[in-house]
Amino acid sequence: MARKKFEEAEYDPFEQDRLRTLSRQVATHKDQGSSGEISPSEKIAPNESPPAITNVVAIPKKPVREYASLEAFQIAKGPQKSRTFKCSSVAQDKELDGFLARLKEVTATDVPFQVIARAAIAATMRAEEQIAEVIRKKPAMKRPANVLAAEYAQFEQYWADVVMEALRKVRPYQ
């Protein structure tokens, strides 16, 4: 069975250092405009020991990050990504898109609808006890048929009011 290329010769780090040094010397002479030949005094003999290794390492300074001001930040141009979630009317879709665009300007980054929806659901789930308390105080509405637009809008508004009132009562880190 044939030997693999890396198995043919043992890796010799000293030899590799010597070759790197030699290639650097050749490269610097070529950059200086010489004929590319190295004088005998500059050549490293194979029997010579490699240069002494020092433990001094130059650590580059970490660049200081400058934060862009909100005025200087430019929102990426391009086709707007469409949401998979659709509201019941075109006006509500436009209102939601406007809300997301305003959040995008304030935060200086793209805020997908899914992130806002998950955050709202998490906050609402955290307020479960407060929602139950508000519903005990207010009479609960029965869910109307979907075709009754006016009654369904009142039903949605009822739940929006209940959730907002409950969220006001939630203590942080509850």
Residues 47-64: tens digit of each pLDDT: 566 666 666 666 677 777
**Helices 128-137 & 113-126, crossing angle to 10 degrees?**
70
- Give the CA count within 13 Å in the CB-facing half-sphere of 69: 2
What proportion of the chain, given as a percentage, has pLDDT over 70? 60
Which residues are CB-neighbours of 41 under 8 A, at least 6 positions away? Answer: none
Instruction: Please tell me the distance from the alpha carbon of residue 126 to that of residue 120, in angstroms, as a whole number.
Output: 10
Instruction: Please tell me the distance from the alpha carbon of residue 25 to that of residue 42, in angstroms, as a whole number.
Output: 8
Dig out the tokens for 153 from the structure.
Answer: 């809008």
Question: What's the whole-number mean pLDDT along residues 7-25?
Answer: 76
> In the predicted model, what is the mean pLDDT of the chain?
75
pTM of the model: 0.47
Which residues are CB-neighbours of 123 under 8 A, at least 6 positions away? Answer: 167, 170
Instruction: Please tell me the distance from the alpha carbon of residue 100 to that of residue 114, in angstroms, as a whole number.
Output: 11
pLDDT tens-digit readout, 83-123:
667 776 788 888 888 888 898 888 888 888 888 889 999 98
Question: What's the whole-number mean pLDDT along residues 79-85?
Answer: 62
